[in-house]
Amino acid sequence: MDALETRELRYFVTVAEELHFSRAAERLGMAQPPLSRAIQQLERRLGVTLLERNRRGVTLTGAGQVLLDEARAILDGTAAAVRRTRRAATSTNRLTLATKAGSNHELLQKLLNAHAAEPDAAEIEVLLCGMGDQARMLRDGRADAALMQRPFDALAGFDTEDLLTEQQVAILPAGHPLAARTSLTMADISNVPDLPVARWPRQDGTYEPGPGPEIHDQSQLAQLIALGHTLAVLCASSRSWLWNAHTAIPLTDAPHVTTVLAWPAHSRSRAVAGLVRTAAQLLLVHHSPSPAPRSAPRRPAAAADRQVGDG
């Protein structure tokens, strides 16, 4: 069988996302008949049905869903190769660091300051993004490294260096009765009739069903909490952006969250290697003089040389 072409993969992904041939053709800037023929030819070459077509519309088959996932990864990889190749030709000592807008500002500033103090430190461009966008930016080459959070962000395919582990807190309207408590549990906030928990997007961009509002950015969340329409569960470092209309209460049984520096496992960038070394050293300094538990030894700063190549 001949190799798949990026053009036909792009056609298929667009149809699979729209589940409508006319809308997909419009999005691609082409007529519908050649698009339909291209998808039919792709199905014949693969020997499988990718899309079910009937009067009710278009749906993905199981095989179609597999190809959609794989095709997205391939197209992201192709885009990443183009971006990183062009970047390498114009600057060898520069990198882009993606981070969610509103994330731990103090930690980010410490990392940037520590890195800037290193000899021959790469110039860092900070790329602020929306919730869950960091992984996509790493995969398609828009970012060289990213600050992400375990267990919430998708870290598959990336190497990581832990930076900070912290407790979670409930962010409430300051005037709500629960705001007077010194601590809360997840059960305390799970079913408050007048204050549903805000819903964050999953890794595929969809939302879990529930009464709470769908959150798209930090500004929206802050406003809805202040108005008394929702509460949120966030890292303790989120206190840095709270308004007077907000109160943060520790959650005693919520899982801890670890902020990590993440980068593509195949990266051979010297600039990324330098940032990883800074991150590892920053962590050692941050936790000094308390030693790490025996069951979870910290990697030394030299681990960066083993994790990111110098080629």
Nearest to 10 by CA among 37, 33, 28, 31: 28
User: What would the DSSP string read from start to end of 232-258?
Assistant: EEEEGGGGGG--TTEEEEEBTTSPPEE
β strands within the chain, DSSP E: 51-54, 57-60, 94-100, 123-129, 145-150, 158-166, 168-173, 232-235, 246-250, 257-264
Structural tokens at position 289:
């003089």
Q: What is the largest CA-CA distance in the chain?
A: 68
Report cis status (omega within 30 of 0) of the bond before 151. Answer: yes
Tell me the C-alpha distance between 160 and 20, whole Å: 39
Q: What is the mean pLDDT of residues 259-266?
A: 92
Residue 113's pLDDT is what? 93
For helices 6-18 and 32-46, the axis angle rounded to 10 degrees is 110
Nearest to 113 by CA among 254, 306, 282: 282
Lowest mean pLDDT among 63-67, 135-139, 229-233, 237-241: 237-241
Q: Is the pLDDT of residue 267 over 80?
A: yes
Q: Is the pLDDT of residue 295 over 50?
A: no
Nearest to 296 by CA among 171, 110, 114, 162: 162
Tell me the C-alpha distance between 49 and 61, whole Å: 7
Hey, is 191 helix, strand or coil? Answer: coil
User: What mean pLDDT, rounded, does the chain reach?
Assistant: 84
Could you tell me what percent of the chain has a pLDDT over 70?
Answer: 87
Within 8 A by CB and 6+ apart from 306, the residues are: none
Whole-number Cα distances in Å, 31 to 2, 21, 28, 93: 25, 10, 9, 44
Asked if residue 101 lies in contact with residue 128, where contact means CB atoms within 8 angstroms, the answer is yes
Asked if residue 138 lies in contact with residue 86, where contact means CB atoms within 8 angstroms, the answer is no
Within 8 A by CB and 6+ apart from 302, the residues are: 277
Q: How confident is the model over 97-107, as pLDDT tens digits? A: 999 877 788 89
Residue indicated by tokens 């943060």: 248
Q: What is the mean pLDDT of residues 256-281?
A: 91
Whole-number Cα distances in Å, 202 to 33, 133, 207, 247, 307: 35, 11, 6, 26, 29
Q: How confident is the model over 98-156, as pLDDT tens digits? A: 998 777 888 999 999 999 999 888 999 999 988 778 998 998 889 999 999 998 888 98
Nearest to 162 by CA among 301, 258, 59: 258
